[in-house]
Amino acid sequence: MLEIQGNELILQEGSLITSKTDLRGYITYANFDFIQFSGYDEEELIGKNHNIIRHPIMPKIIFKVLWDTIQGGKEINAFVINRNKENYDYWVYANVTPSFNKDGSIIGYYSVRRKPNPKAIPVVKGVYAKLLQAENDAHSQGKNPMVASGELLNKTLQDINMNHQLFFITLQKNGSL
Ligand SMILES: Cc1cc2nc3c(=O)[nH]c(=O)nc-3n(C[C@H](O)[C@H](O)[C@H](O)COP(=O)(O)O)c2cc1C
- Supply the CATH number for residue 30's domain: 3.30.450.20
Which residue's alpha carbon is nearest to atom 13 within ligand 1? 50
pLDDT at 14: 97
The secondary structure of residue 13, as a DSSP letter, is T
Residue 115, C-beta contacts closer than 8 angstroms, at least 6 positions apart? 10, 11, 12, 13, 15, 92, 93
* Number of domains into which the chain is organized: 1
CA 58 to ligand 1: nearest atom: 11
pLDDT at 1: 81
Which residue's alpha carbon is nearest to atom 5 within ligand 1? 50
Each of the 177 residues of the chain gets a pLDDT tens digit; together they read: 899 999 999 999 999 999 999 999 999 999 999 999 999 999 999 999 999 999 999 999 999 999 999 999 999 999 999 999 999 999 999 999 999 999 999 999 999 999 999 999 999 999 999 999 999 999 999 999 999 999 999 999 999 999 999 999 999 999 999
pLDDT at 135: 98
CA of residue 114 to ligand 1 center, whole Å:
16
> 148 φ, ψ to 5°?
-65, -50
94: alpha, beta or left? (left if phi > 0; alpha if psi -120 to 50): beta
Q: Are the beta carbons of 92 and 17 closer than 8 angstroms?
A: yes
Q: Can you give the residue range of the structural domain that contains 64? A: 3-174
CA 113 to ligand 1: nearest atom: 8
CA 20 to ligand 1: nearest atom: 1
Q: Find the farthest-apart pair of alpha carbons in the chain and give their distance in angstroms, rounded.
A: 48
